Amino acid sequence: MAQWNGQWDSLEKSAEENAAGKLKEIDEIAQRNQWKVIRAFQRNKVSDFHFASSTGYGYNDRGRELLDEVYAEAFGAEAALVRPHFVSGTHTIGIALFGVVRPQDEIVFVTGKPYDTLHKVIGKPGDGTGSLADWGVRSVVAPLREDGSVDWDAVRASVTERTKVFAIQRSRGYDWRPSFTVAEIGEMVRQLKAIKPDAIVFVDNCYGEFTEDKEPPEVGVDLIAGSLIKNPGGGLAASGGYIAGRRELVELAAYRLTAPGIGGEVGAMLGTTRSIFQGLYMAPLLVSQAVKGSVFAAAVFESLGFETHPAWNDNRTDLIQAIRFTSAEHLIAFVQAIQKSAAVDAHVVPEPWDMPGYEHPVIMAAGTFVQGGSLELSADAPIREPYIAFMQGGLTYAHVKLAVHQALSDLRERGLL
């Protein structure tokens, strides 16, 4: 054990020394984003009475209204819809898409096959579930090139006069590819508007918020959506999601969340307003802690010969750190070690299971204060080749370091390292 502890100390020191410049860069991004968020609070004159709860219809809930305005400013958008009533990122994305499309419209997924849980939202014609396809909305996937870049020939070939929405997924999802930076998304917007100027450019912004200086609406994106139990909730929001972008599009999404003619004018916040405001305030710092943890994990695993994506010194645009293993046994041991290092439910041993919305058995480590809160330290992986674990989150950098230590210790004890 003493020999292993000495080896770990050496790995930890080497990784932090090598990544010192990158870690400093992440701190600087966090500082700029923190100032941006605080200024949004200040300009909108947030006061403690805005944190009061509302019930029933929630009419005239000024805290709820101000929350939308603060989010819109922080994300560089005309308007926003921020509610605890969104149950997940998938639900929020579904609301945004259903809000802006109509029967016979088409959606082109520009960045390849979307995240697994969206497949049922897209659906199949006549599936009877109320999916997009069931409502007569056609979806087309333009596969990415082998290097993970957009295949513009495939995108152009997918566009018809019915194309209403271009959809972009910022994060890698369960793919071994780079996530897309805000600058790259801005270039996509430029090319997509040249192909079909009246089409809506939508971005699934999950895992990306506050990892860079800018957000997608600041580079011309029409509409974005994300989950409050990921980055912008700052570990404090107990549920919810947000939609932001052009005012008329956000309003259409609000009609889908509630009902036409009602939109965002109602919706009791039931005591959640303060935690959502405070979570947004905390988000720049806590996102930076998670990103620093991902850089550290990549640096350590790379030093041991593992393949990681992104590499420790790559530019980051989301929380997700992918690590490739050589077998299902390695993969499962890693995810179980992440659970073992949690503050909550560390005694639980996760096993692969057929999780609703996924096409393969999935193993998930999620010892979190908020169920499914992936700004908190978590990891998951579909049990399929190639055997890739997707680690994300960590409310503190120190917690991620502990988890990496635990993972390497367990892999070593099982003879897998």
Q: Residue 295 domain-assigned?
A: yes
Which domain does 102 fall in, by range?
52-271
> Does some domain include residue 43?
no
CB atoms within 10 A of CB 218: 15
The backbone torsions φ and ψ at residue 147, rounded to the nearest 5 degrees and listed phi first, read: -85, 5
Q: CA-CA distance, 71 to 63, in Å (whole number)?
A: 12
**One digit per residue, pLDDT tens: the chain, 417 residues?**
556 777 889 999 999 999 999 999 999 999 999 999 999 999 999 999 999 999 999 999 999 999 999 999 999 999 999 999 999 999 999 999 999 999 999 999 999 999 888 999 999 999 999 999 999 999 999 999 999 999 999 999 999 999 999 999 999 988 889 999 999 999 999 999 999 999 999 999 999 999 999 999 999 999 999 999 999 999 999 999 999 999 999 999 999 999 999 999 999 999 999 999 999 999 999 999 999 999 999 999 999 999 999 999 999 999 999 999 999 999 999 999 999 999 999 999 999 998 776 778 999 999 999 999 999 999 999 899 999 999 999 999 999 999 999 999 999 999 998
Alpha-carbon Rg for the chain, nearest whole angstrom, is 21
Ranges assigned E (strand) in 53-162: 79-83, 106-109, 138-141
Q: Are residues 154 and 66 in the same domain?
A: yes
What would the DSSP string read from start to end of 231-297? Answer: GGGTTT--S-EEEEESHHHHHHHHHHHS-TTTGGG----TT-HHHHHHHHHHHHHHHHHHHHHHHHH
- 45 lies in a domain? no
SS3 41: helix
Which of these three, 221, 249, 271, is where a domain ends? 271
Burial per residue of 140-161, b for 16 or more beta-carbon CB atoms within 10 angstroms, e otherwise: bbbebeeebebbeebbeebbee
Question: Which of the listed residues 240, 271, 302 is the one where a domain comes to its end?
Answer: 271
b/e burial code for range 98-111 (CB count within 10 A of at least 16 → b): bbbbeeebbbbbbb
- Residue 104 and residue 80 share a domain: yes
Query: What is the domain-level CATH number for residue 344?
Result: 3.90.1150.60
Q: Do 203 and 181 fall within a single domain?
A: yes
Three-class secondary structure of residue 137 per DSSP? coil
Interior CA angle at 339 toward 336 and 340, to 5°?
85
Describe the chain by its helix, strand, coil percentages, rounded to 5: 45, 15, 40
Same domain membership, residue 217 and residue 107: yes
In a domain, 64, yes or no: yes
pLDDT tens profile 270-320: 999 999 999 999 999 999 999 999 999 999 999 999 999 999 999 999 999
- What is the pTM (predicted TM-score) of this model? 0.95
Residue 363 included in any domain: yes
39 belongs to a structural domain: no
| Torsion, Cα of 362, 407, 402, 32 (10° steps) | -50
**Is 228 contained in some domain?**
yes
Helix (H) or strand (E) holding 201: strand 200-204
- Specify whether 262 is located in the same domain as 299: no
In this structure, are 203 and 298 located in the same domain? no
Residues 220 and 154 in one domain: yes
CATH number of the domain within which 247 lies: 3.40.640.10
Q: In terms of domains, do 254 and 329 share one?
A: no
What's the number of domains the chain is made of?
2
